């Protein structure tokens, strides 16, 4: 899937125009194209860490960052439970 397709699908999901599929044990909140992932790891190096706590902290910083907005499959408001 191309970068544009991934970002378009995330946008349509945020708008409620396509269903969001996620694993039964986790909620899918971001769809990040591979090309963008590489750039994000430069900004959030902990995303490449083998240490789970460091990876988790970097992912949390990414989630809280406005940089994550184009990749969200749900709006921030919906993620907080305020439908």
- CA 14/CA 30 separation, integer angstroms: 10
Using alpha carbons only, give the angle 10, 40, 19 rounded to the nearest 5 degrees.
Answer: 15
In the chain, pLDDT over 70 holds for what percent of residues? 77
What is the per-residue pLDDT for 83?
42
Q: What is the pLDDT of residues 38-53, one digit of tens each?
A: 999 999 999 999 999 9
Average pLDDT along the chain = 83
Q: What is the pLDDT of residues 18-28, one digit of tens each?
A: 766 655 555 56
Structure tokens at 20: 């969001």
Structure tokens at 73: 């499959």
Task: Give a three-class secondary structure readout of the chain.
Answer: CCHHHHHHHHHHHHCCCCCCCCCCCCCCCECCCHHHHHHHHHHCHHHHCCCHHHHHHHHHHHHHCHHHHHHECCCHHHHCCCC
What is the per-residue pLDDT for 27?
59
pTM of the model as a whole: 0.71
């Amino acid at each position: 899937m191309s970068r544009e397709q991934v970002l378009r699908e995330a946008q349509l999901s945020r708008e409620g125009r396509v269903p969001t599929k996620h694993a039964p044990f986790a909620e899918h909140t971001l769809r990040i194209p591979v090309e963008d992932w590489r750039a994000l790891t430069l900004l959030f190096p902990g995303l490449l860490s083998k240490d789970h706590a460091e990876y988790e902290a970097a992912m949390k910083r990414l989630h809280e960052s406005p940089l994550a907005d184009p990749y969200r499959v749900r709006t921030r408001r919906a993620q907080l439970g305020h439908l």
